[in-house]
Structure 1
Amino acid sequence: MDYLIKPIGHVQRGRADPIDDDRGASRSVIALDPEQSGPEALAGLDGFSHVEIIFVFDKVAPDRIETGARHPRGRKDWPLTGIFAQRGKNRPNRLGVTICKVVAVEGTLLHVEGLDAISGTPVVDIKPVMREFLPRGEVHQPAWVAELMASYW
C-alpha cells in the first residue's frame, strides 16, 4: 500500500548547502503551511526544550537512492554497512529525522537549532521530545559512528 504524505511546512533561513558537518550551531526556521495549520498547531511547543523534526531529503535524485550496503561517506576504511544501519540521505523513502533545540515559537514559525536539513526542505511532522520516549537503558553503536559524528555537531 502506498501512502501520500503532504508537507506541513518548509525549512526557511537554514543552510543552503547540504554540508554534513558543523550542524550544531546552525539555526533554521520551520514555517508551517498556512493553508493547513494556524498558530494553534504549535501551541505549547515552547514548553519543550527539543523537538523531533521529520523531513524529506527532496534534493536526492531517484537514481542516487541506496537500497543495499555502502561505506559511510564513501570511506573504505569504515565497514560496508546497510542503508538501514546508517542515517545517510540516500535512503529508499528519503526521510530524515533530527532532534533539535527549540529556540522560539512565533505564530506559525518554529525556530530551531541543529536541524540536519537545508533551506526549502519539506517538513512532514514535528514532535516534542519527551524524556519517556528516549531509549531506556544503555545505547551502544559501532566505533566508526563516533568517528563519523565527531565534527557533525
Structure 2
Amino acid sequence: MDGVILSPVARVLGGRSEMFEDNWYNTKAVIRLDDHLDASALQGLQEFSHLEIVFQFDRIDEADAQGRPRPPRKNPGGPLVGVFAHRGPYRPNRLGVSVCRLMAVDGRDLYVADLDALDGTPVLDIKPYLVEFAPADPVRQPAWASRLMREYYKA
C-alpha cells in the first residue's frame, strides 16, 4: 500500500504533561493552530460546543505498536482483545480521536476542556462535533469497557 504523509495542523498546549488514566473531565488545554495555516481556518468554529480532535500518540514508539491481542489498559483481569477492539495508544498508526468541549476561540487558539491528549501532542485534524454524526441506533459495548471507562471523564 502507498504511504500516507500527514502534517500537524495544531499542537496541544497545557493540560497534562504525563499520561495517566481517568479523571480527564475538566482538564483544560489550548489547541494552537500551526503557523502554516491562516487563523481564518477556525472561522465559525465558535458556534459549536464540542470538537472532535484527531491526534498522534507521538510518545509511543512505533516498535511498541502491537497487533496482538492484549487486555485493554493493561488490566490483568481484562479480556484479551485485538488492537481495534479498544482505544489505547499502542496502535499501528498511533492515532487518537477525542471529543472535547470548546470553551473559546481566540485568534489561533482553541480553549478546550476534556481533551485526553498530552501537552505538546500534534493535532492532525479538528472537526466540529455534529449531533447528526452520532449513531442513530442504540450503542452496544461489552461490560468490561464500561467498567474500565467508569472514571475516565469523572469529575
Name the residue aligned to 1:52.
Answer: 52
Name the residue aligned to 1:41.
Answer: 41
Q: Does 1:141 align with 2:112?
A: no
Query: Any stretches of 5+ residues in structure 2 without a counterpart?
Result: none
Query: RMSD across aligned C-alpha pairs, in angstroms?
Result: 0.8
Q: How does 1:89-128 map to 2 (within 5 A)?
A: 89-128=89-128
Aligned residue identity for 2:18: D
TM-aligned CA deviation for residue 67 of structure 1: 1.0
Name the residue aligned to 1:8.
Answer: 9
Deviations 1:82-133 (A, max 9, x none): 1100000010000000000001000010111111100000000000011111
Normalising by structure 1, we get a TM-score of 0.96
TM-aligned CA deviation for residue 20 of structure 1: 1.6
Query: Any stretches of 5+ residues in structure 1 without a counterpart?
Result: none
Say if 1:8 and 1:33, in contact at 8 Å, map to a contact too: yes
Deviations 1:47-103 (A, max 9, x none): 001000000000001221111210112223211011100000010000000000001
Aligned residue identity for 1:26: T
Q: When the two structures are aligned, how many residues end up with a matched partner?
A: 152
TM-aligned CA deviation for residue 41 of structure 1: 0.7
Normalising by structure 2, we get a TM-score of 0.95
Identity of matched residues, % = 43
Q: How does 1:81-96 map to 2 (within 5 A)?
A: 81-96=81-96
Say if 1:38 and 1:107, in contact at 8 Å, map to a contact too: no
Give the whole-Å Cα distance in 2 for the aligned partners of 1:14 and 1:76: 29
